[in-house]
Chain A
Amino acid sequence: AQTVTQSQPEMSVQEAETVTLSCTYDTSESDYYLFWYKQPPSRQMILVIRQEAYKQQNATENRFSVNFQKAAKSFSLKISDSQLGDAAMYFCAHRRGAGGTSYGKLTFGQGTILTVHP
C-alpha cells in the first residue's frame, strides 16, 4: 500500500518570500503520479501541480514548482513570491499509474497549513 507523509503540520512565510513544503511517499511501483492540492478556507480542493513519475523534469506552474527526487521518494512544493491568497491547507497526494478498476484512487498526506504574513 502507498503512504504519503507530510511532516510539517504548519508553515509560515512572509509575503513575497519563498517557502517549501515537504512531502515523502512510499510505493513499490514505478509508474505513478504525484500531486499537490490546495484547500483554502472555502474547503474547495484545487489542483496546484502534477508530476508524472516517468518524467525527470520537475513540474512548474507559474509561481509553483516541485523538487521531485524519485530515488529518495521525496516531492516538495516550492512557492515563490508568496501571496496572501496562497494561505491554505496544502495536501500532497499519490496515485497509481496503472488503469483498471482501481484507477484514480488518491492517497493523501496529512496536510500542511500555510500562513502568509503581510
Chain B
Amino acid sequence: DAGITQSPRHKVTETGTPVTLRCHQTENHRYMYWYRQDPGHGLRLIHYSYGVKDTDKGEVSDGYSVSRSKTEDFLLTLESATSSQTSVYFCAISESPRAGQGKASEQYFGPGTRLTVT
C-alpha cells in the first residue's frame, strides 16, 4: 500500500470554525490532490498540487484553501466551516509522468477523513 495518511480520521466541528485536514505521504510523489465524496456526486476535486508551493483549484474549490510547504504534506483548510462542507475528504497522490506512463497513470488514495459540520 502507498504510504498515505490523513489526519484526523474523524472530526465534528461547529459552523463558522476553521478546520485543517492534513495529508502526509512517504512516497515522494510530486502530485497531491484533495477530493470530497458526497452521495450522488462520486468524488469531486477540490484542489491539487503539482509541486511544493504550487497549487491550483479544482472543480469545487469555493470555501477551501490549501498549502504545500514540503513534498510530503498537503493541507486543506476550511476557513469558516459550513454545513454544506460535511463530507468525506480524500487525499490522493500520483507520480510525475517522467516515471513512465504505466506507473504514473495510477493515483493512490488515503483512508479518508469524515468531517461533520453541525
A52 at the interface (CB under 8 A from B): yes
**Contact partner of B88 among A43, A52, A95, A109, CB < 8 A?**
A43
Check A105–B33 contact: CB distance below 8 A.
yes
Q: A-B contact count, CB below 8 Å?
A: 63
Q: Which residue of B lies closest to A109 (CB)?
A: B42
Interface residues of B in 81-118 (CB under 8 A from A): 88, 90, 92, 94, 96-97, 101, 105-107, 109, 111-112
Q: Report the bound CA distance from A71 to B50 in whole Å.
A: 32
Neighbouring B residues of A25 by C-beta, 8 Å: none
Neighbouring B residues of A64 by C-beta, 8 Å: none
Chain A facing B: main interface SS: loop
Check B50–A103 contact: CB distance below 8 A.
yes
Interface residues of B in 33-75 (CB under 8 A from A): 33, 35, 40-45, 48, 50, 54, 56, 58-59
Chain B facing A: main interface SS: strand
Check B41–A110 contact: CB distance below 8 A.
yes
Q: Report the bound CA distance from A44 to B56 in whole Å.
A: 25
Q: Report the bound CA distance from A26 to B31 in whole Å.
A: 24
Interface residues of A in 86-102 (CB under 8 A from B): 91, 93, 95, 99, 101-102
Q: Report which B residues bind A (CB closer than 8 A).
A: 31, 33, 35, 40-45, 48, 50, 54, 56, 58-59, 88, 90, 92, 94, 96-97, 101, 105-107, 109, 111-112
Q: Report which A residues bind B (CB closer than 8 A).
A: 4, 6, 33, 43-45, 47, 50, 52, 91, 93, 95, 99, 101-111
